[in-house]
Amino acid sequence: MTKQVHKQVHLAAHFPGVNNTTVWSDPAAGSHIEFESFRRFAQAAERGKFDFMFLAEGLRLREQNGAIYDLDVVGRPDTFTVLAAVAAVTEHLGLAGTINSTFNEPYEVAREFATLDHLSGGRAAWNVVTSWDAFTGENFRRGGFLPQDQRYERARTFLATAMELLDSWRGDEIVADKETGEFLRTPTPGRFAHSDAHFDISGQFDVPRSPQGRPVVFQAGDSDEGREFAASGADAIFSRHGTKEAGQAFYADVKGRLAKYGRTPEELLILPAATFVVADTDAEAAELAAEVRKQQVSGQTALRKLEEVWNRDLSGYDPDGPLPEVDPLVGENTVAKGRASVRMNRDPLAVAVAWREQAEAKGLSIRELMIEVSSRQNFIGSPATVADQIDDLVQSDASDGFILVPHITPGGLDVFVDTVVPLLQERGVHRTDYTGTTLRDHLGLAPLGGTA
């Protein structure tokens, strides 16, 4: 891989969602649901000349111990609807929505993304995910029937099918010549037929080709299968490897997979999620970061996070006391429903052993331990320190940029945009203005044009 000097830093903003890193108890925290919050957040990202704004998805309220989880922010708006509205109050910012391939159909998702791309003048991106649990399926006609291997297979064929539909209009069919009365150049634009184990569909797609042709495609998978899926066709990866070492390993691994698909390293961007705390000085930032962690992990939250691994009711324990002596319950029925951690803590007994050792070695209470093992900001420091860190990670191929997740909604992005962005611009590693109009332009991806 040829190494460019002065790679450009790609920046994006994740509107923070429903997890304990979003601090709602701070007086500066506003609504996470009213449109004014999305407007303000998006306009801050656009002021900072960011590539795009990103929304996650969760289609069922999380539960723990059979009750809806009430300690974190709960609730979010519909992705397409809020992004279409954001398109009205921004001009350049890309609009990335996470949409699963299990509880939707290719025709409807293709028409939603084609619509969003039209309504935003070419700024749509699709983060393809596979909703994984029957728990979520209980909200849908389709139910929760898909085992893991079929879900990925469905995801692959779903994506391919949606792309077939999006490519079914070449882009030159609409003539609209008032004089001759010819509206369409051809009588059958959008015609498609697709039949496989998952979809047996045919007809005519009803949304003509959009400015980008297709939405930019994001992949969030981390497994070997997910990395291969991304290497074969995604435009960007939303990863969780924000540190230098892990980032470089992931970066090298994924970019190394591209050649076999006839792709170059520039065709797939690696964009880890990253949190930050910026203050006037490094010392102030460190202090503030510690304060934020305490806000993120209240005593109640610490106990509930521990329950996710212990799979037992621990509400009788003192969060400022030691870890439970009892071992986690191992079984199918996890205590936490609808949360990613259920997948991450596959071996709860091993986690318990490691955490006990860690707590004992450092003399940590439950809450202190949970602060140690959960929330950690990627970037902490003065604007100059944070700009240094980000630039260094990008120049050393730990990433191509970052998807920033502020801990305050919606104003948490402002400090970054107003203080760090100008420093990155001074260094010449971040644009001072948009040079293109589409998200593909911002990401440096070649335009697709019409299909042949």
Partner 1 sequence: MPTPLHLAVALDGAGWHPAAWREPDARPTELLTPGYWVDLVTEAERGLLDLVTFEDAFALQSGDRWAPDERTDQVRGRLDAVQVAARVAPLTRSIGLVPTAVVTHTEPFHLSKAIATLDFVSTGRAGVRVRVGALPAEAAHIGRRQLPDLRELDPADPVAQAGLRELFDEAADWVEVLRRLWDSWEDGAEVRDVATGRFVDVGKLHYVDFAGPHFSVRGPSITPRPPQGQPLVAALAHQAVPYELVGRSADLGFVTPTDAADAARILAEIRTAQAAAGRAEETVHVLGDLVVFLDEDEATARSRKDRLDERAGSEYTSDAAVFVGTPSGLADLVADWTQAGLSGLRLRPATLPHDLRQVTTALVPELQRRGLFRTAYEASTLRGLLGLPRPANRYAAV
- Chain residues 66-85 in contact with partner 1, contact rule CB under 8 A: 67-68, 70-78, 80-82, 84-85
- Report d(CA 101, CA 154) in Å as an integer: 7
List 7, 8, 47, 60, residue binding partner 1 (CB under 8 A): 60
Interface size with partner 1, residues (CB under 8 A)? 77
Residue 374 · residue 345 · CB < 8 Å: no
Integer CA distances (angstroms), 376 to 49, 229, 243, 277, 370, in order = 26, 29, 11, 10, 11
Shortest distance, CB of residue 133 to partner 1, whole angstroms? 12
- Chain residues 111-170 in contact with partner 1, contact rule CB under 8 A: 111-112, 114-116, 118-121, 138-142, 169
Q: Which is nearer to partner 1, 5 or 197 (CB)?
A: 197
Residue 83 · residue 39 · CB < 8 Å: no
List 25, 262, 333, 346, residue binding partner 1 (CB under 8 A): 25
Shortest distance, CB of residue 406 to partner 1, whole angstroms? 17
Q: Provide the 10 A C-beta neighbour count for residue 285.
A: 22
- Report d(CA 281, CA 244) in Å as an integer: 23
Q: Residue 192's closest CA among 211, 217, 170?
A: 170
Beta-carbon contacts of 422 under 8 Å, excluding residues fewer than 6 positions away, are: none
The token duo for 283 is: 């010392």
Shortest distance, CB of residue 191 to partner 1, whole angstroms? 9
Q: Which is nearer to partner 1, 45 or 424 (CB)?
A: 45
- Report d(CA 72, CA 139) in Å as an integer: 21
Q: Residue 424's closest CA among 380, 395, 374, 384?
A: 384
Q: Which is nearer to partner 1, 212 or 389 (CB)?
A: 212
Shortest distance, CB of residue 324 to partner 1, whole angstroms? 20
Q: Which is nearer to partner 1, 199 or 416 (CB)?
A: 199
Shortest distance, CB of residue 164 to partner 1, whole angstroms? 12
Shortest distance, CB of residue 206 to partner 1, whole angstroms? 4
List 145, 147, 172, 184, residue binding partner 1 (CB under 8 A): 184
Enclosing H/E stretch for 221? none
The token duo for 105 is: 């159909």
Shortest distance, CB of residue 58 to partner 1, whole angstroms? 6
Beta-carbon contacts of 153 under 8 Å, excluding residues fewer than 6 positions away, are: 197, 198
x/- track of binding to partner 1 for residues 269-308 (CB under 8 A): -----------------------------xxxx-------
List 171, 208, 422, 436, residue binding partner 1 (CB under 8 A): 208
Shortest distance, CB of residue 443 to partner 1, whole angstroms? 22
- Chain residues 31-50 in contact with partner 1, contact rule CB under 8 A: 33-35, 39
Enclosing H/E stretch for 10? strand 10-14
Straight-line distance from the first to the last Cα atom of the chain, in angstroms, rounded to the nearest whole number = 30
List 189, 324, 328, 410, residue binding partner 1 (CB under 8 A): 189
